[in-house]
Amino acid sequence: MHIPDGYLSPSTCAVLYAGAGLGWYEALRRIRRSLTTRMIPLISVFAAFSFVLMMFNLPLPGGTTGHALGVTIATIVIGPAGSIMAISIALTIQALFFGDGGITTLGANCFNMAIVGSLVAYATYRLTANGAAITARRRWIAAAVAGYVATNAAAFFAAVEFGIQPVLFHNARGVPLYAPYSLGIAIPAMVIGHLAVAGVAEGVIAAGLVAYLQASDPALLQATSGLAGTAELAQPATPQRFLRKLWITVALLMLLTPLGILAGGAAWGEWSANDFAGSRGHTTIATSSQDHPVPSDAPAGLQRLSSLWTAPIPSYAPQFVKSPSLGYMLSAMFGVGLVLSLSLAVQGYLRRRRSPGQAA
């Protein structure tokens, strides 16, 4: 679901950057009163959780792979505005440092996964759990439904963005300049796998964590519950015990990240320009695209934009590490370290700005 550089036209990227920008602006506007040394740790820990969770690739039908997002539990605990920022941070680090998603398409990826994912998860959760007590079984059922629907909504938006490219952007001979497959191919290829596997994984994770919070820290579910006497994003204090447990969970997931490379195959629509040139790449692309013909060469726009940015650690594989498993795990640690460093830097800045008598 991480759209690489070259698959979307510059104008499409610009429109989606504008859409993402509006989402970021509104999210920051909504959380600015709680964007303090109490809120920053919550955003950072969910950014780290999402970053690591997305490294666990799951095998999908057609020989491709997908992943859960972590957007649902983030939305339920810190609200859609906080989730938008947390998932966007994770996606930005993935694109800049690991080449997972493009730089030109970062706005599209944030729009699909962070903004659409968060808003759909929030709306679905609120509608499904409407009026249920915090500890009611319907809450974790609502989380499961929200995770499933949100993941598939994000995948559908990405599929539409892929599918409109050959219709809108082609040369005089009708040859696509960017993503080569139309809506009739892109939507089934993207959505079927997420309906069958990735959406289920997101729902199970969200439901499990909500059920855990119901038993251990039910107050963390109050902010987005919609129940009388609660207010979204009104966190009275940073739940230190919860933060410690979630950071421990992130650490354990980092140690397990080598499992994420066991699933063979690339995600649909994340092929490199070189994959269009070789017979092996052709076979892979055709198999995952309902055996439709594969262009003999990468589309011209894709070739031009795909080399725009070279990530320092492409594909989570540091060049100085010979073992793919060890390199993948070290990449996870590096990414989480970036999130934590950014969190500490922002917290330090906010403390310096705070007046002596102002509460944190």
pLDDT digits (tens, 9 = 90+) for 202-249: 999 999 999 999 998 898 898 899 886 544 444 444 567 788 889 999
Tell me, what CATH number does 276's domain have? Answer: 1.10.1760.20
Mean pLDDT for the stretch of residues 317-336: 96
pLDDT tens per residue across span 305-316: 998 999 999 999
Tell me whether residue 16 is in a domain: yes
Predicted local confidence at residue 242, as pLDDT: 81
Between residues 279 and 238, the one the model is more confident about = 279
The count of structural domains within the chain is 1
Q: Do the Cβ atoms of 76 and 125 come closer than 8 Å?
A: yes
Tell me whether residue 357 is in a domain: no
Tell me whether residue 359 is in a domain: no
Predicted local confidence at residue 37, as pLDDT: 60
Rounded to whole angstroms, the Cα distance separating 289 from 269 reads: 9
Tell me whether residue 149 is in a domain: yes
Tell me whether residue 148 is in a domain: yes
Q: Is the model's pLDDT at 189 over the cut of 70? A: yes
Q: Do the Cβ atoms of 82 and 39 come closer than 8 Å?
A: yes
Q: Domain of 92?
A: 10-352
| pLDDT band at 285; cut points 50, 70, 90 | confident
Tell me whether residue 105 is in a domain: yes
Can you read off the two tokens belonging to residue 278?
Answer: 């070789």
Tell me whether residue 3 is in a domain: no
Tell me whether residue 296 is in a domain: yes
Mean pLDDT for the stretch of residues 349-358: 66
